[in-house]
Amino acid sequence: MKSLLLTLATRKGAWLYHGDPTRRTWRVDGPHFLGHIVNHVVLDPRDGRTLLAAAKTGHLGPTVFRSTDYGASWREAERPPAFAKAAQDGGGRAVDHSFWLTPGHADTADVWYAGTSPQGLFRSEDGGVTWAPCSDINEDPQYRKWMGTVQDGTPDGPKLHSIIVDPRDPKHLYLAMSGGGVHESTDGGRRFKPLIDGMEVVEGFDRADATFHDPHCVRLCPSRPDRLYQQNHCGIYRLDRPAQRWQRIGINMPAEIGNIGFPLAVHPRDADTAWVFPMDGTTVWPRTSPGGRPAVYATHYAGATWRRLDVGLPASQAWWTVKRQAMTTDRLDPVGLYFGTTSGELWMSGDEGRHWTCIARHLPEIYAVEAAEPA
Amino acid sequence: MKVLIPGALRSYVENGHAEAGGATLAAVLADLERSYPGIRFRVIDEQDRIRPHVRFFADGVQVRDLRQPLATASELVIVQALSGG
């Protein structure tokens, strides 16, 4: 059995949790980059050794750090993600922070993708040492219109996220933008097309316009790569390609809970199973657990039914939630589920969500949690 | 000239000061970048704009433009605000 590594990105730094193969004991290693705003820390599944961390330090510019010794030492990227210099002074965009990191296809060693705020797609071909803009969408007038401005985006900046590489084809990519919708590329990320049919938008806006779409998290099922799940600002969806139209499976959630949330996780071997973490999206959008009673909801039937999973979680007065990158699974059997909260707690379930235990408390606000298997 | 480096950039310049030369702020920062790769992007964005909450003072006078002449200055201070929670 393999050991596990949980990588946590938080508002005040990064932490690594090393787990034994039984997932009963965890050794904490951190903080790394104390005081830095860290949005994502990802271990390369191709070598089980290379860690990348997307960081920003207060008002300093954004960068990416790289480690090949599980965080014992870090080196800064020589050329972090940055937009092309505009022809005219004052006209171009600047990366505020790198938000999302995705390793490339298994056959393309050292290729990585980064999604930024404001929305941009970047690629590294040397394991994260140097990055360059890699897609027409960064400068395309139509895409720039769909991306909107900082004023249109999420509170801490509009984001490009959920960069997905089809495990069968390195040229087939998906990405999502908050705001700006879900998009698909078949040429390795140079050009994209919207994939927004069936997705709802806030009442009164035009659902045919990608501008108004706010996907929060999109996941591809490893066991059935033609199946995507999505947690959106306006519900939970499933899409079975080659279909083009998303099906709103969140309508099957209990009405008193609703189907608003940020994260979504999929089962590594069962494409009918997925987990969400609902939050209160009523009135002024408190973005807390509904009623102060946090729970994960699971479907084992591709969204036809949902089951509440809250054994071990606080029964009342717990007013936190889980952000879009902060819920994930491992690949063991039974599958381990993990989430980090806005209140700095790290929770896990070793039985696919039936029972929950808290691994860590008192961390800074957790932005991202990933589970990986070190080499 | 002597360049004073704020605490947030000490990962590049451990002792907090460096020597760099140039006729303009842009040239001084380019010289600094040669000695400490990566430091310029932390204070100047890819559109050559000074990042928000970062300030430069040459001999006590604020420098607001990368093209501003600095040939006669003896000291450049980089200041980074610590606002935020």
User: pLDDT tens for residues A213-247?
Assistant: 999 999 999 999 999 999 999 999 999 999 999 99
Q: Is A84 on the interface with B (CB under 8 A)?
A: yes
Between CA A194 and CA A288 the distance in angstroms is 31
pLDDT over 90, % of chain A: 92
- More reliable by pLDDT, A270 or A59: A270
Strands B75-80 and B2-4, sheet pairing:
parallel
Whether residue B85 is contained in a domain is answered as no
Nearest to A94 among B8, B49, B82 (CB): B49
Nearest to A85 among B47, B81, B84 (CB): B47
Between CA A127 and CA A130 the distance in angstroms is 8
* Number of structural domains found in chain B: 1
Mean pLDDT estimate for chain A: 96
Q: Which amino acid is at A264?
A: L
Are the beta carbons of A123 and A64 closer than 8 angstroms?
no
- B48 contact residues in A (CB cutoff 8 A): 85, 89
Nearest CA in chain A to B40: A61
- A78 contact residues in B (CB cutoff 8 A): 37-38
- More reliable by pLDDT, B48 or A91: B48
DSSP run (H or E) holding A84:
none
What is the domain range of residue A80? Answer: 4-85+92-372
> Is A180 exposed, middle or buried (CB count within 10 Å of its CB: 0-12, 13-18, 19+)?
buried
Whether the per-residue pLDDT at A334 is higher than 70: the answer is yes
Q: Is B9 on the interface with A (CB under 8 A)?
A: yes
Confidence band of B80 (pLDDT split at 50, 70, 90): confident
The token pair that represents A100 in the structure block:
């999302």
The token pair that represents A180 in the structure block:
């700006």
User: What's the pLDDT at A179?
Assistant: 92
Q: Is A334 on the interface with B (CB under 8 A)?
A: no
Nearest CA in chain B to A60: B42
- CA distances (Å), A112 to each of A42, A179, A332, in order? 11, 23, 25
* Number of structural domains found in chain A: 1
Q: Residue A301: which CATH number?
A: 2.130.10.10
Contact A85 B8 (CB under 8 A): no
Q: Residue B53: which CATH number?
A: 3.10.20.30
Nearest to A61 among B45, B81, B84 (CB): B45
Average pLDDT over residues A174-184: 97
Nearest CA in chain B to A81: B46
Nearest CA in chain B to A90: B47
CA angle A303, A365, A319 (to 5 degrees): 60
User: What's the pLDDT at A154?
Assistant: 77
What is the domain range of residue B48? Answer: 2-80
The string of pLDDT tens digits covering residues A158-169 is 999 999 999 999
What is the predicted ipTM?
Answer: 0.89
